[in-house]
Homo-oligomer: A and B are copies of this chain.
Amino acid sequence: MKKHILIVPGDGIGQEVTAVGKKVVEKIAAKFGHEFTYDEALIGHAAIEATGDPLPEETLVKMKASDAILFGAVGHPKYDNDPSAKVRPEQGLLKMRKELGLYANLRPIKLFDELLEASSIKPELLKGADILFFRELTGDVYFGKRERIDEGNTAYDTMIYSKYEVERIARKAFDAAMTRGKRLMSVDKANVLESSRLWREVVLEVAKDYPEVQLEHQFVDAAAMLLIKDPRKFDVVVTGNLFGDILTDEASQIAGSMGMLASASVGDSTGVYEPIHGSAHDITGKGVANPLASVLSAALMLDISFGLKAESEAIITAVDATLKAGFRTRDIADANTPADMILGTEAMGEQILSKL
């Protein structure tokens, strides 16, 4: 198979982990006889430094010309205490999502058996947990109008949804539920928000086409509680952009560490595959970041964008074997991990490669 892959490492540890993800894809191509070509492009703070623009036109052109995008992370602590900065790394990420029409963000939360002890949640509540989140990604308060008014003394953002936006993500979630446990939880705040009431109306409407799927509604506050109380009660979850952002980060604890979680953003055209974790500047450059989220993002890319199931499975098996062999990065090590089994980013990558 011939495919053109764009590598977009972005900021912070995005650089370090994406390098490992790419190596894994190269190894798979060699092993399975695919012809993958690669290009690289800038986004986020890295792009601002180089061009002044968090999503340069050149990057966007390359993105649209690629068959899939392996993405790192964006963000920079420089902006943390400067809320008034006009140009910000995250603008590049949001613009990419909008421009590529990436309205569905899939975040599978699956615990590798070996990491049962790495989570802060009790192992007996976790074993077997397997959740698939569908986070809407191109609407909500992320893209509504925002403004300072009243001489700068008041600020607002607009949380907004249209029916067609809810419908298309709901259909994707119902479709996925049909291939899994046939249970779908829709999360909103319909007891307060009008946009949530529209959300719920549409989900109830779409549900009529999926009589076999058991649909449940939860308010976002209750969902945030239930997720840690009883993670095995969840199968597929569909929710808006903001609630999905919060709940999936929280759910990362179910998988032991944010460093384990991959995501796929799909929609109208090229898919983007990216770790859930951010740029993590506190550990950038130290070579300790967990590359597995990027490696598993590559696996999602092969599966979802290219339909290469066996190749995708081979990566997951290699990750599993590496964990079974006892190798850990710092974030997923526990009190019983021997010091010499705790590897840095590159060494962990080498272990995966050696098992492919």
Closest chain B residue to A89 by CB distance? Answer: B191
**What are the interface flags for A231-249 relative to B under an 8 Å C-beta threshold, 1 for contact and 0 otherwise?**
0000000000011011111
CB distance from A101 to the nearest CB of B (A): 18
Q: What residues of B have a CB within 8 angstroms of the CB of A198 in the complex?
A: 83, 148, 154-155
Task: Please tell me if A209 contacts chain B, counting CB pairs below 8 Å.
Answer: no
A246 is contacted by which of B201, B204, B224 (Cβ under 8 Å)?
B224
CA distance A227 to B249 in the complex (A): 11
Interface hits, A211-235 → B, CB 8 Å = 217, 220-222, 224-225, 227-230
CB distance from A93 to the nearest CB of B (A): 9
CA distance A11 to B290 in the complex (A): 48
Query: Are B83 and A201 within 8 A (Cβ)?
Result: yes
Task: Please tell me if A351 contacts chain B, counting CB pairs below 8 Å.
Answer: no
Task: Please tell me if A62 contacts chain B, counting CB pairs below 8 Å.
Answer: no
Query: Are B224 and A155 within 8 A (Cβ)?
Result: no
Interface hits, A284-316 → B, CB 8 Å = none
Interface hits, A83-100 → B, CB 8 Å = 83-84, 88, 90, 94
Query: Are A250 and B224 within 8 A (Cβ)?
Result: yes
Q: What residues of B have a CB within 8 angstroms of the CB of A224 in the complex?
A: 224, 246-247, 249-250
A225 is contacted by which of B81, B155, B230, B253 (Cβ under 8 Å)?
B253
Task: Please tell me if A337 contacts chain B, counting CB pairs below 8 Å.
Answer: no
With A191-B90, A224-B247, A225-B252 as contacts: A158 and B161 at CB distance below 8 Å: no
Task: Please tell me if A75 contacts chain B, counting CB pairs below 8 Å.
Answer: yes
CA distance A220 to B241 in the complex (A): 13
Q: What residues of B have a CB within 8 angstroms of the CB of A258 in the complex?
A: 225
CA distance A194 to B83 in the complex (A): 9
Interface residue total, chain A, C-beta cutoff 8 A: 67
Q: What residues of B have a CB within 8 angstroms of the CB of A341 in the complex?
A: none
With A80-B217, A191-B90, A221-B246 as contacts: A158 and B155 at CB distance below 8 Å: no
CA distance A138 to B110 in the complex (A): 38
CA distance A3 to B115 in the complex (A): 55
A158 is contacted by which of B81, B148, B159, B162 (Cβ under 8 Å)?
B159
CB distance from A136 to the nearest CB of B (A): 14
CA distance A354 to B191 in the complex (A): 39
Closest chain B residue to A253 by CB distance? Answer: B228
A: which residues have CB within 8 A of B?
75, 79-81, 83-84, 88, 90, 94, 120-122, 125, 141-142, 144, 146-148, 150, 153-164, 189-198, 200-201, 204, 217, 220-222, 224-225, 227-230, 242-243, 245-250, 252-253, 258, 278
Can you report 25 A-B residue pairs in the complex whose CB atoms are below 8 A from each other?
A80-B190, A80-B217, A83-B204, A88-B191, A94-B192, A120-B122, A120-B125, A120-B229, A141-B141, A155-B160, A155-B194, A155-B197, A156-B159, A156-B195, A157-B159, A157-B194, A157-B195, A158-B159, A220-B246, A222-B249, A222-B278, A225-B250, A228-B228, A229-B253, A246-B246
